[in-house]
Structure 1
């Protein structure tokens, strides 16, 4: 079987910790490596962004194919949207030149999903998609997020057209069904794995000496991309509330494009009097991360949303306790009270409280360190690899077995949508050939607002947001799914069905904290 992986906006070989590089890069590369080890031929398609080989042999059976689309330089992720038609055309040209072609297309993130949807239809192939993040969920998770309507509209279309959807957690699966109208029968939940050969506990004294850290003083760690959704500002304020002042906070991640956010965090640390305690490490290579996890007493993941939370898994594999937000996939990744703590409030106080507890109790931290055996049972890479492989093979076989013109998912007849696709809209902007429409939404480079359409899935998603707001109560902010509360007021955090998502069984005082949306 030959598999075409699509990662349009970021290369799996790019240095980690940059503005657009993180868990998804690791996921795509490691999944592709494992599939290649099993004998599958895998090509990863990504955008050319430098003076690099057009085709690079990464490993036996695994190639990275760099596709020309826009200037051959790094550009903002948002700008790539305008170059997706060119990316799709050149990717199709390359695919058609390959002897034997491909058997399945596996797209990652919505921009890749757009190109993958078109390519799968044109080459009559099954299309597997994994979104990694969802625009609707990001907008609901943090006030101030501004993911465009165009992204959300296309995500809905891609979800409806996909042969199969891979989700990293049951929570992501629920959100896709609730807000995007995705077919539950097409979704497969395969939690991300962790390489236990790489991520394992290392000698703490050696790790600290290697990183020039104090031998005994507390070390706190944050790892990821420097962006607002990761909640780093919450962590800076939280450590500023700690009674002790002998700690070191390591912030790992961020490249030159994140300079403005780093400057904000540095100013925040200075304003709270902890500049001397905070070290910005920048981006580090993946194989160096285990030294950071092993050197730290606690790894903190204060994100507003995480579809899975790979950093938490890597930290636990290295025997490091995790204090994380109770959001998204982190709920099923971190075992509250066993491998760390889950914090249901997006404000510094609760994080500071748990950090004080862990830093003041070495015995408790030691009890939390058996997270690695837990992961060995729950998240072995080989098992996740096999699950993903079964999903791809099952869907690919089913797609090839059925007639090509049935009008079913991913195989629509021209001009016919069927009951699950209520409307089709054809828009042909410059540079895009006829028939390259995505049903129910305009082409990516059509002027926003020039063409509008509303589908049944759009209406269902909007209605779900409204229903959540009505049943949760509270005051709606400008963005659906956010509830505001006056400092000190008692606000229950419950789902649309009334379930206590905090798992506390009683109301908590907000103390000025942001109350997370139930749908995140």
Structure 2
């Protein structure tokens, strides 16, 4: 329960009741925690406008993956999250797919919906230097081209399917390897490496672990395409980072920003199964140089249009001003 596992404190509710009125608007960042319960107890009966940012926590994938926990969450929904969202000035979503999926999560569902976007800061630094630093981390990669997976090594991410799909096309692309970068928090990597060995592609897959800073950006800049075969992904900040570097993204339709990727022509989208992920790789390697260059341009444009955090902050402020706090509107310039 929230007060056991999610930071219960006796001081927060009194503090919020006393201090919320000193703010133009309040944003509740996330649900299924004591902060959300405290907001329910403090804000729903106040005159202070508030919004709730769910950050993918209403995705029905969790209902299928954790049915027992979902029953407990339904009870919590009736008592806490449901009234919190129903009385909010608005519920904020990072993309259209998140908004659509949230409607099937819990009952009853009665909210005012706003898609305000999400994203990351634009990439900085010298790309060539970053690529060199990344390649120093993986000497066995030498100067070979590569597909990049960069995320947690976790069953939800579809890593096993990506390895199987790569094994199917590896004979067709002897000059392209696969880099599987990310922390192995679930201890799954040894099993995946055995899988790669059994498929005869162990020497074509590289496991640098978690990449940060210049090495991470070097991986993005240096890859042929970024691949994220997730079974569930509310947003996928790594997808936005790849787009910032002008790289095509090959993702499943369970990565919630797939609509924007498809709409802008910034990559390829398929189902989160072996035929789907294999089709992503096969379709990409069949592209002509001109087609790949076009996708790279579209990828960069998609980042600037949808996922540049500075643009999305502006969208968020516009929603706050227009729906609840006109006094937040920018002051006219002084003479």
Q: Does the pair score TM above 0.5?
A: yes
Q: Is the 8 A contact 2:243 2:300 kept in 1?
A: yes
Q: What residue number does 1:513 align with? A: none
Q: What residue number does 1:384 align with? A: 312
* Residues 1:107 and 2:107 are matched in the alignment: no
Q: What residue number does 1:330 align with? A: 257
More helix by share: 2
Match of residue 217, structure 1, among 139, 144, 150: 144
Deviation at 1:294, TM superposition (A): 0.7
- Cα separation, 1, equivalents of 2:42 and 2:20: 17
- Cα separation, 2, equivalents of 1:203 and 1:294: 10
- Cα separation, 2, equivalents of 1:134 and 1:354: 28
Q: What residue number does 2:98 align with? A: 172
Q: Is the 8 A contact 2:145 2:177 kept in 1?
A: yes
Match of residue 118, structure 1, among 17, 33, 41: 41
Query: After superposition, what is the alpha-carbon deviation per residue over 1:415-454, rounded to whole angstroms, capped at 9, x for unaligned?
Result: xxxxxxxxxxxxxxxxxxxxxxxxxxxxxxxxxxxxxxxx
Gap regions ≥5 residues in structure 1: 1-78, 400-520
Gap regions ≥5 residues in structure 2: 328-335
1:151 and 1:247, CA in 2 relative to 1: closer, same or farther beyond 3 A? Answer: farther
Q: Which aligned pairs between 1:287-436 and structure 2 lie closer than 5 A? A: 288-327=215-254, 329-335=256-262, 338-343=265-270, 345-359=271-285, 361=287, 363=289, 364-370=291-297, 371-397=299-325
Aligned residue pairs total 315
1:266 and 1:219, CA in 2 relative to 1: closer, same or farther beyond 3 A? Answer: same
Deviation at 1:200, TM superposition (A): 9.1
Deviation at 1:362, TM superposition (A): 6.3
1:361 and 1:171, CA in 2 relative to 1: closer, same or farther beyond 3 A? Answer: closer
Q: What residue number does 2:332 align with? A: none
- Cα separation, 1, equivalents of 2:15 and 2:122: 36
Deviation at 1:101, TM superposition (A): 4.8
Q: Is the 8 A contact 1:254 1:283 kept in 2?
A: yes
Q: Is the 8 A contact 2:130 2:215 kept in 1?
A: no
1:286 and 1:207, CA in 2 relative to 1: closer, same or farther beyond 3 A? Answer: closer
Q: TM-score, normalised by structure 1?
A: 0.52
- Cα separation, 2, equivalents of 1:337 and 1:381: 18
Deviation at 1:270, TM superposition (A): 3.1
Q: Is the 8 A contact 1:191 1:308 kept in 2?
A: no
Match of residue 233, structure 1, among 132, 135, 160: 160
Q: TM-score, normalised by structure 2?
A: 0.77
* SS across alignment from 2:187: helix
- Cα separation, 2, equivalents of 1:99 and 1:205: 47
- Alignment RMSD: 3.5
